[in-house]
């Protein structure tokens, strides 16, 4: 078991992505609350099509404010070489390039097949590295597609292998629609780890079917050293209306603390940030700790 897990806070991107757009000032309020948790990595925004993802249309404006938090490593999601260029131009030092493992999802999201998206890794790495930007390749729908069902692990390994060959700095595998459970988590990670050398592997889980924390814990037990989470469990999936979103940062921190795994995120500050998120989006969030609070510890 690892003794430390890096948590990346994704509420500002994945968390807000399908919400009704909130003003930049509100995002900065959420960012301040998130920064107060002590988290070292924040996925701040996405450089994608503003017409397809209106909630991320202010990506460059938000990026211009990030210098106020010099201790945090900010990243942005991109889906194309053009997005990588925009992120670098906006001053981001780290990007996530997302590739869906199944064609139906990939075409619906970015207009390219999974293989076409994979073929762009080299170009994106070159754009990023030319600007001193690090790249994480994220394999989306790594376990299940909302359209095609189970993703063949072979397809994930093809993307991962291509990413390694083309110089990605990090990798992660994402349960985009919140369907995976511990056994399948451990099985895929056991297949991925041998082909990535010493490149750090992260996991991204949604709690859509209740098993998000169980899956995250299985991932850490299997060798993942990085986890995405979102204060309040902000974030959802457009394919599962009403479903819960990303695993909640505070719920994850609670579980990892009991597991003697060190994280940079303060539990009470994360609960506070979850309350800020709830108030900014104006509806209940699925976080358990936001309702129940910490247990008594003596």
Residues noted as catalytic: 237
Query: Quick check: 220 and 261 in contact, CB under 8 A?
Result: yes
Please, what is the minimum distance in Å from the beta carbon of residue 278 to its own copies? 12
* Binding segment toward its own copies, per CB under 8 A, in 27-35, 173-181, 196-204, 222-230: 173-181
Beta strands per DSSP E along 158-210: 170-175, 201-205
Query: Quick check: 259 and 227 in contact, CB under 8 A?
Result: no
292 binds its own copies (CB under 8 A): yes
Binds its own copies (CB under 8 A): choice among 211, 270, 280, 281: 211
2 binds its own copies (CB under 8 A): no
Q: Which residue has the tokens 């010099």?
A: 70
**Pairwise CA distance, residues 276 & 31, whole Å:** 10
Helices (H) and strands (E) in the chain, counts: 13, 10
**Pairwise CA distance, residues 38 & 36, whole Å:** 5
**Residues within window 30-59 making contact with its own copies, judged by CB under 8 A:** none
209 binds its own copies (CB under 8 A): yes
Residue 63, token pair as written in the block: 């990026």
SS3 state of residue 88: helix
DSSP string, 156-216: HHHHHHHHHHTT-SEEEEEETTS---HHHHHHHHHHHGGGSTT--EEEEEB-TTS-HHHHH
288 binds its own copies (CB under 8 A): yes
Binds its own copies (CB under 8 A): choice among 259, 266, 275, 279: 259
**Pairwise CA distance, residues 135 & 93, whole Å:** 9
SS3 state of residue 66: helix
* Binding segment toward its own copies, per CB under 8 A, in 8-16, 108-116, 122-130, 176-184: 176-184
Phi, psi of 94 (to 5 degrees): -155, 135
* Binding segment toward its own copies, per CB under 8 A, in 6-14, 60-68, 126-134, 138-146: 138-146
Query: Quick check: 43 and 11 in contact, CB under 8 A?
Result: no
296 binds its own copies (CB under 8 A): yes
Q: Could you tell me the sign of the dihedral formed by the alpha carbons of 198, 67, 31, 92, in that order?
A: negative
298 binds its own copies (CB under 8 A): yes
Binds its own copies (CB under 8 A): choice among 94, 106, 145, 172: 145
Binds its own copies (CB under 8 A): choice among 177, 265, 280, 281: 177
Which of 62, 132, 121 has its CA nearest to residue 96?
121
Q: Would you say 70 or 282 has its CB closer to its own copies?
A: 282
3 binds its own copies (CB under 8 A): no
149 binds its own copies (CB under 8 A): yes
217 binds its own copies (CB under 8 A): yes
258 binds its own copies (CB under 8 A): yes
**Pairwise CA distance, residues 236 & 163, whole Å:** 27
Binds its own copies (CB under 8 A): choice among 91, 122, 146, 200: 146
Q: Would you say 38 or 146 has its CB closer to its own copies?
A: 146
Please, what is the minimum distance in Å from the beta carbon of residue 283 to its own copies? 12
**Residues within window 228-257 making contact with its own copies, judged by CB under 8 A:** 240-244, 248, 251, 254-255
**Pairwise CA distance, residues 70 & 80, whole Å:** 27
Give the interface with its own copies as residue ranges (CB under 8 A).
144-150, 177-184, 207-211, 213-214, 217, 240-244, 248, 251, 254-255, 258-260, 287-289, 291-293, 295-298
């Amino acid at each position: 078991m690892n003794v430390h897990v890096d948590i990346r806070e994704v509420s500002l991107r994945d968390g807000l992505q399908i919400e009704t757009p909130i003003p930049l000032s509100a995002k900065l309020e959420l960012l301040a609350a998130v920064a107060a948790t002590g988290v070292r990595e924040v996925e701040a925004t996405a450089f994608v099509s503003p017409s397809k993802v209106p909630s991320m249309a202010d990506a460059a404006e938000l990026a211009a404010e990030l210098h106020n938090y010099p201790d945090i490593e900010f990243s942005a999601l991109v889906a194309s070489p053009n997005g990588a260029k925009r992120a670098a131009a906006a001053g981001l030092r780290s990007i996530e390039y997302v590739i869906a493992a199944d064609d139906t999802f990939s075409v619906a999201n970015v207009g390219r097949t999974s293989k076409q998206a994979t073929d762009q890794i080299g170009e994106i790495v070159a754009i990023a590295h030319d600007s001193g930007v690090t790249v994480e390749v994220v394999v989306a729908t790594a376990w299940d597609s909302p359209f095609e069902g189970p993703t063949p692990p072979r397809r994930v390994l093809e993307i991962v292998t291509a990413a390694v060959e083309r110089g990605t700095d990090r990798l992660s595998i994402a349960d985009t629609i919140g369907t995976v459970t511990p056994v399948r988590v451990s099985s895929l990670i056991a297949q991925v780890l041998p082909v990535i050398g010493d490149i750090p592997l992260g996991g991204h889980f949604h709690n859509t079917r209740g098993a998000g924390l169980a899956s995250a814990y299985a991932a850490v037990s299997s060798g993942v050293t990085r986890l995405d989470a979102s204060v309040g469990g902000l974030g959802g999936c457009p394919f599962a209306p009403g479903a819960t979103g990303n695993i909640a940062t505070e719920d994850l921190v609670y579980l990892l603390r009991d597991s003697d795994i060190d994280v940079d995120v303060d539990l009470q500050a994360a609960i506070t940030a979850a309350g800020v998120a709830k108030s900014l989006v104006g509806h209940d969030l699925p976080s358990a700790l936001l309702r129940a609070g910490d247990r008594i510890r003596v």
